[in-house]
Chains A and B, each alone.
Chain A
Amino acid sequence: MKLSFKLVSALAGLLVFALIAITAASVVARYVLGTPIQWTEEMSAFLLIWIVFLGAIACEIEDHHLKIDVVTMALPDGLVRWLGAIVGAASVGLLGYMAWLGYVLSESAALKKTQILRISWFWIDIAVTVGAIGIALVMAWRVWLLLTGKPVDAPETEDMSREH
């Protein structure tokens, strides 16, 4: 898990780097060189959706997705474990369905291309499928840990709350 976290996180981080570089380059091209880069907008939108869905996989591994634990905090540990397994399994189902729907949508949008770069919308929409499958796998692993009674703490990652 730790390795897959590093890989996915690094890949998503690389896309963030590309996003910054492209935006900065487009400012330079427009202001210094006087020739705006016309595909910046398309490319940024393309990168952002992949950042979200790849980032979401890494975020799931470190168990940092947003949730409201006010109610479950008041429940006994054993119950929380079972509830976690049931909700987790339901989530895996939801994500599987999301992945499938994303694929169907990508297929039907494949003909449509972006105006400048002529990227097929398939490559934009399919980010949902890739992301949902990735998250579902992580969640399934967590449900398995819950059911077999193993500790479920997120693996040690380069923690975001690390002090500097």
Chain B
Amino acid sequence: ETTVRIAYENNPGEPADLVMNRWKELVAEASDGEVVLELYPSSQLGGKKDVIEQGMLGVNVITIADVGFLTDYDPDLGILFGPYLTDDAESLFKIYESDWFKEKEAKLQEQGIHIVIKNYLYGTRQLLATKKVETPDDLKGMKIRTPNNIMQIRAIEAMGGTPTPMPLGDVYPALTQGVIDGVENPLPVLFGQKLHEQAKELSMISYLQNTSLWLGGQAYFDTLDPEVVEMLHETGYEAGLYSQELAAAEDEKILEAMQDAGVTVSYPDVEPFREKAMAVYDQFPEWSEGLYEEIRSQLGQ
């Protein structure tokens, strides 16, 4: 019997937790109970960086990471977290199947990172604020909390807001006190963190299709039976599909719940936001020459 640990920062009941529970079932089924996934929600084994480090040191653990998180290993990967890169998540997933990404994946494996799921949709990032935001002008002077991630900081800045990085755990009190005016994240996270209790204006600017990777250390995967690794990949793909389904369903459910809680939802014209956001694609000199154009052509756009 093989036990594989899965660690993530999300709390029980959030979409990531639901998807992992589904994956657990899929794995149990596919392996006749021979392989067991053990789930560790709520950062029980540590934050993202620490768990990835544990995996790279050879610990049995799989965790979730934004592509933005892998830019230390390959700066080019950062572009996959770019604002308004594609219209929908579906076309973004095509890039993950492209030759360009396969090359990157092989390079990461040499550096000790083994990607298990690459069709995982974390959600579409929206803006929840204390004031209505319908145009980039409305964003002027508003302090928007972002994760400590250079791409999101620059994207919010480009669209006119004042990015204010702080840990997710501090956002609730910061909103309560008005230290920040808004926060961006997929709806399930905004709702899961109960931020709608403090900020009542939801702007569906959909500025970022947030895909995520589930990965572990190559050193650990090398110790596994190749058949088990393949089974994990196959069931992982199924779980990824479920995450995409769930994201859509959850968004709808949460929109309703938020409105019931007194949140006003607005659907601004995203074109002006997109135009401003494009500025970020010139701000990363560390990217390969012509990266943006290559990605666009991979997308056939």
Chain A residues within CB distance 8 Å of chain B: 30, 34-36, 38, 41-42, 108-109, 111-113, 115-116
Q: By the criterion CB–CB under 8 Å, are B141 and A113 in contact?
A: no
Is there contact, CB below 8 Å, between A112 and B148?
no
Binding site for A on B (CB under 8 A): 49, 53, 56-57, 72-73, 141, 143, 148-150, 153, 162-167, 179
Secondary structure call for the A interface: loop
Which A residues are CB-close (under 8 A) to B73? 111
Is B149 a contact partner of A41 (Cβ separation < 8 A)? no
Given contacts A108-B56, A111-B73, A116-B165, 13 further A-B contacts (CB under 8 A): A30-B143, A30-B164, A34-B141, A34-B162, A36-B164, A41-B148, A41-B166, A42-B148, A109-B53, A111-B72, A112-B72, A116-B148, A116-B153
Tell me if A35 and B72 are in contact (CB < 8 A).
Answer: no
In the complex, the answer to whether B149 meets A35 with C-beta atoms within 8 Å is no
* Cβ B167 vs Cβ A115 within 8 A: no
CB-defined contacts of B150 to chain A, threshold 8 Å: 115-116
CA distance A113 to B73 in the complex (A): 10
CA distance A115 to B56 in the complex (A): 19
Given contacts A30-B143, A111-B72, A111-B73, contact A38 B56 (CB under 8 A): no
A112 surroundings in chain B (CB, below 8 A):
49, 53, 72
Alpha-carbon separation in the docked complex, A115 to B152 (Å): 11
Which of B148, B149, B163, B167 has most A Cβ within 10 Å? B148
Closest to B68 in A: A115
In whole angstroms, what is the CA distance A112 to B73 when docked?
Answer: 8
| Residue from A41, A108, A113 in contact with B53 in the complex, judged by beta carbons closer than 8 Å | A108
Q: Which chain B residues border A113 with CB–CB below 8 Å?
A: 72
CA distance A35 to B162 in the complex (A): 7
CB distance from A106 to the nearest CB of B (A): 11
- The smallest beta-carbon distance between A109 and chain B, in angstroms, is 6
> Measured between C-beta atoms, what is the minimum distance from A42 to chain B in Å?
7
Assess A36 versus B163: contact at CB under 8 Å? Given A108-B57, A109-B53, A111-B73: yes
CA distance in complex: A35, B141 (Å): 9
User: Given A36-B143, A116-B148, do A41 and B167 touch, yes or no (CB 8 Å)?
Assistant: yes
Q: Can you spell out 6 A-B residue pairs with CB atoms less than 8 angstroms apart? A: A30-B143, A38-B153, A41-B148, A41-B166, A41-B167, A112-B49
- Could you say which residues of chain A place their CB within 8 Å of the CB of B49? 112
A42 to B153, CA, bound (A): 14
A108 to B73, CA, bound (A): 13
Chain B residues within 8 Å of A35, by CB: 162
- Distance to closest chain A CB from B17 (angstroms): 26
A44 → B minimal CB distance (Å): 11
- Determine the distance from Cα of A34 to Cα of B53 in the docked complex, in whole angstroms: 36
The distance in angstroms between the C-alpha atoms of A30 and B141, with both chains bound, is 11
What are the residues of chain A within 8 A of B166 when measuring CB–CB? 41
Is B148's CB under 8 angstroms from A115's CB? Answer: yes
Q: Which chain A residue has the least Cβ–Cβ distance from B157?
A: A38
Contact yes or no, A115 B163, CB < 8 A: no
B142 to chain A, nearest CB (A): 10
Cβ of B179: which chain A residues have Cβ within 8 Å of it?
30
Residues A38 and B53 in contact in the complex (CB < 8 Å), given A111-B73, A116-B148:
no
Across the interface, do A115 and B149 meet the contact criterion of CB distance under 8 Å?
A: yes
In whole angstroms, how far apart are the Cα atoms of A34 and B179 in the complex?
11
B38 to chain A, nearest CB (A): 24
CA distance A115 to B150 in the complex (A): 6
Residues in A whose Cβ lies below 8 Å from that of B56: 108
Chain B residues with Cβ under 8 A from A108's Cβ? 53, 56-57
| Distance between Cα atoms of A115 and B179 in the complex (Å) | 22
Which residues on B sit within 8 Å (CB–CB) of A30?
143, 164, 179
Among residues of A, the one whose C-beta sits closest to the C-beta of B146 is A38
State A3–B141 Cα separation when bound (angstroms).
Answer: 51
B72 touches A38 (CB 8 A): no
Q: Which residues of A contact B163 (CB under 8 A)?
A: 36, 38
Residues in chain A near residue B53, CB distance under 8 A: 108-109, 112
Question: Which residues of A sit under 8 angstroms from B153, Cβ to Cβ?
Answer: 38, 116
- Which residue from chain B places its CB closest to the CB of A35 in the assembled complex? B162
Shortest beta-carbon distance from A105 to chain B in Å: 8
